[in-house]
Structure 1
């Protein structure tokens, strides 16, 4: 499909050429990975600068979500092993920048790991966090302009100590396992100390409450760490755990953010679920499996997947508006990349002419997506003429 539009995409390498390039990069080892990552960081800075207000600076803060992904293997590959779900494959760890409710997200780090790698391995979380922070602009490395979010897999002593050591410019919101000490402290919280949880629009969420644990519940853990607990009525048919109390499902997270209501902090941490959307998009963009045998080759493949996801994130950020900014790869391929259109050059200007019968084209789409095609055409024409 890319070769069918040389005016837009330029010359496209053949499959054997791509395969030989991956072998060459894999043989170079960490040096090749460092060059690729440095180039991505430079282009990311430029893309965010061009995007202006559409860049993922939520309140001048960048949110980085760290999450693990299980990638199945159906043949013997290096470092493929039995996973904690009793499947066979790899267990890479990713970091994604959250674009907020109005956009999607983009990867900033990917670490290939064996299938039997632990979910809560602190060293891996520290390495991925380092790679992710290296992708951000320097201005996000001071004044707590970066927030690291993880689920309970990141709630380890060593990882929280590492985050706390950078507390002058780094915030965190990390899920915690309900230990016996936390469970005992929750049982002592008076009824009056619980506050109703809120939804993104500010309305009260029925059947859910939040409270902060006072005192040093976890002795010896980093200073300044706040523990916030959420309790909610389980869904009909849900099975309670031993750590739940009074028929309520309990969850907990740690944060070092101060001077913010706990309801807002709990809502912010709950929105970490958007990382699952980023994982789904990655699976649709080459992460369905690791196609090569050697681990070094598959790490290069992981970088290629991140490059593709970067492009799929920057293009909507720069050229789309409204709901179209949240389109995932499948919908982008259907509505934009494979839609019948023609790049026409006349009078020293280029125009993107699409079929008028498309239900999402400017002639028939709603106001929220009306500017998608025109802005995309501007970028397509500028690329074809060498203006970008």
Structure 2
């Protein structure tokens, strides 16, 4: 008889009545919600969505849904992961209670959206105040503005849902438009400001939808971006989009609001003399990467005097970038000398061409935030009602923002977790298991001392507790 060596040990599996917690690490996000008094805040904003005598209040219902989405849940029934750990997550509402809550939401979508915006603004104000010198509102200036990224994406629907339609890629579903915040390098991964759910047949270049999602994004910014008369201080903000946001209607509105912008621009068929001028690299400057290092054979130039713009804001400038074609790429009419030529528009008062190009190219970070948003619930909208799915999308945005706020306001500068996306938070922290015990009439959550992120877990809990005390004592204001 030949004995084979097993890949893994095979201990005997038995059931136990011990209080074991499968997602104990997720309670770190609960600590953050406790620190900002999330339950009381939601009671003030969403009490109309539950009966007055209801045991499960809106703050707890919303918090449980948000934690479930952050942990990887895809629908209300996934709340059972929290429900089986009442010692850590408290009493969790049933699926029927959540269904009734969402049923009221779909009949009062405007009230829910308004409540979410005011709640989100208050949360953001409190947590940004706790960030100290890293507060994005304090760091924003005319030369170094805070960046709002706007982009659209596609979400597939695998069954018939209200508002779902055919997409330009041949699929079926929705085309939400998302507004994100980019803190900049070294300050975390950024957060989601607004999610505008749209039918799948909506175009990405809709100026009306860009204006709507921007207005929702501005509504959730702290009061630091408004003067004493409630007027937006537009020069502290920059709106960054792809070429879908380069419509004259949208850019003229941004100029009217005093906002800076940086948007990709689809180059028209140009004249032969302009092609010849582009080929003369003596007019160009070398481009730089995100670390400030000069790139090889990549050039940028201010082409405003050559390519005249019509009906755009008067201070709009156009910058052109040339880089070698990637292997296998096909050259277009505009691509000359083996270079891919692209352009972007901006009204920024900053005139360092290479730096403007670097800042615009960083728009790719927006794609990472949208990817995390899809992993947090936007990718699988569970309801038939369009209004209920819109509310679900906003809860998904809150699930993505929780780790982002921890990175900004809780973790020390340079911590390794300050660059983690949501999926890494799940694998490294949220999946930590624990055991609930009682000692000296006090409940204690035991986690493995040798767990890779045990230190991170305890760090978040300690800092959140201190923040809560500072708010209660009035040492922090928002």
Q: Is the 8 A contact 1:182 1:217 kept in 2?
A: no
The answer to whether 1:114 aligns with 2:114 is no
Q: Is the 8 A contact 2:131 2:409 kept in 1?
A: yes
- Give the match for residue 368 of structure 1: none
Cα deviation per residue 1:122-154 (whole Å; 9 max; x = unaligned)? Answer: 000011111111111233231611111101110
Structure 1 residue 187: Cα displacement: 4.2
The answer to whether 1:77 aligns with 2:161 is yes
Task: Pick from 385, 391, 394 the counterpart of residue 300 of structure 1.
Answer: 391
TM-score by length of 1: 0.89
Q: Is the 8 A contact 1:62 1:98 kept in 2?
A: yes
The answer to whether 1:268 aligns with 2:359 is yes
Report the Cα distance in structure 1 between the residues aligned to 2:117 and 2:83, rounded to whole angstroms: 26
The answer to whether 1:90 aligns with 2:174 is yes
- Give the match for residue 280 of structure 1: 371
Q: Is the 8 A contact 1:185 1:217 kept in 2?
A: no
Say which structure, 1 or 2, has more relative contact order (CA 8 Å, 6+ apart).
2
Q: Cα distance 1:218–1:260, how it changes in 2: closer, same or farther (>3 A)?
A: closer
TM-score by length of 2: 0.73
Which aligned pairs between 1:136-175 and structure 2 lie closer than 5 A?
136-140=221-225, 141-142=232-233, 144-167=235-258, 170-175=259-264
Report the Cα distance in structure 1 between the residues aligned to 2:470 and 2:441, rounded to whole angstroms: 13
- Give the match for residue 95 of structure 2: 15
Which aligned pairs between 1:288-367 and structure 2 lie closer than 5 A?
288-321=379-412, 322-341=415-434, 353-362=446-455
- Give the match for residue 265 of structure 2: 176
Report the Cα distance in structure 1 between the residues aligned to 2:462 and 2:416, rounded to whole angstroms: 19
- Give the match for residue 457 of structure 2: 373
Question: For 1:284, what is the secondary structure of its paired residue?
Answer: helix
Q: Cα distance 1:294–1:347, how it changes in 2: closer, same or farther (>3 A)?
A: same
Larger Rg: 2
Task: Pick from 23, 35, 38 the counterpart of residue 115 of structure 2.
Answer: 35
Task: Pick from 188, 191, 194 the counterpart of residue 284 of structure 2.
Answer: 194
Structure 1 residue 186: Cα displacement: 5.4
The answer to whether 1:24 aligns with 2:94 is no
The answer to whether 1:214 aligns with 2:294 is no
Question: For 1:173, what is the secondary structure of its paired residue?
Answer: strand
Question: For 2:173, what is the secondary structure of its paired residue?
Answer: strand
Cα deviation per residue 1:67-121 (whole Å; 9 max; x = unaligned)? Answer: 1110001111111111111111100000011132231121111111110101101
Q: Is the 8 A contact 1:152 1:174 kept in 2?
A: yes
Question: For 1:286, what is the secondary structure of its paired residue?
Answer: helix
Report the Cα distance in structure 2 between the residues aligned to 1:91 and 1:124, rounded to whole angstroms: 11
Report the Cα distance in structure 2 between the residues aligned to 1:344 and 1:335, rounded to whole angstroms: 23
Residue correspondences, number: 377
**Aligned residues: CA RMSD:** 2.7
Task: Pick from 228, 236, 243 the counterpart of residue 327 of structure 2.
Answer: 236
Gaps of 5+ in 1: 363-371
Task: Pick from 181, 184, 190 the counterpart of residue 105 of structure 1.
Answer: 190
Structure 1 residue 240: Cα displacement: 2.2
